[in-house]
Amino acid sequence: MKNITQQLADEAATQQLGRQLSSCLAAGVTLHLRGDLGAGKTTLVRAMLQGLGYAGKVKSPTYTLVESYVVSPLYLYHFDFYRFLDPEEWIEAGLRDYFNAQSVCLVEWPEKAGDLLPAPDLTIHLHIEQNSRRAEITAHTARSESSLHAAKIF
Ligand code: ADP
Ligand code: MG
């Protein structure tokens, strides 16, 4: 496991990190996005999708739980579990099958889904500072560590 902290001075810096992270997304990768409301989790996902060449609208899945994207050759699923009151709700909602070896899963509020959620390859924890953000970037697997190196994030 490797971990670094990066200062994000403004929204453009968050977007830059998102574009860099897009090269780390491959089939089977799960990315957890932690941090309070307004920390920049959705902003990061939007920039990742743009970095992959997706030109459409990226809506927050706050109400829909999941938004799906096909950005050839990737199948991406963007989740937001903020509204869950019970950690089993994502299973009851039928979301378990989205986490498979063919998909890329980007999860906001993974802590609301409890222990049954598959372990992430990568975690980005965004901390709110007065007019900026601090990103704590953790690679949990050797594969994600080398992809972060290749993306010049580590
Ligand atoms: P979340 O999904 O974590 O609730 P959003 O991405 O919806 O957060 O909103 C993040 C907000 O913070 C946006 O208003 C965005 O402009 C702003 N923001 C993003 N990155 C930064 C940054 N590095 N510094 C200051 N503001 C930022
Ligand atoms: Mg969000």
Q: Is the CB of 18 under 6 A from ligand 1?
A: no
CA of 67 to the centre of ligand 1 (A): 19
**Which atom of ligand 1 is the closest one to the Cα of 13?**
23
Q: What is the pLDDT of residues 2-26, one digit of tens each?
A: 999 999 999 999 999 999 999 999 9
CA of 126 to the centre of ligand 1 (A): 9
pLDDT of amino acid 63? 92
**Which atom of ligand 1 is the closest one to the Cα of 126?**
3
Contact 26, 44 (CB under 8 A): no
With cut-offs at 50, 70 and 90, classify the pLDDT of residue 119.
Answer: very high
Q: Which two tokens stand for residue 21?
A: 């992270």
Say which amino acid occupies 142: A
User: Considering only CA atoms, which of 2, 87, 82 is closest in space to residue 42?
Assistant: 82
pLDDT of amino acid 88? 94
User: Considering only CA atoms, which of 98, 109, 23, 101 is closest in space to residue 62?
Assistant: 109
What's the whole-number average pLDDT of the chain? 97
How far is CA 146 from each of CA 34, 35, 80, 94, 137, rounded to the nearest angstrom?
22, 24, 27, 32, 13
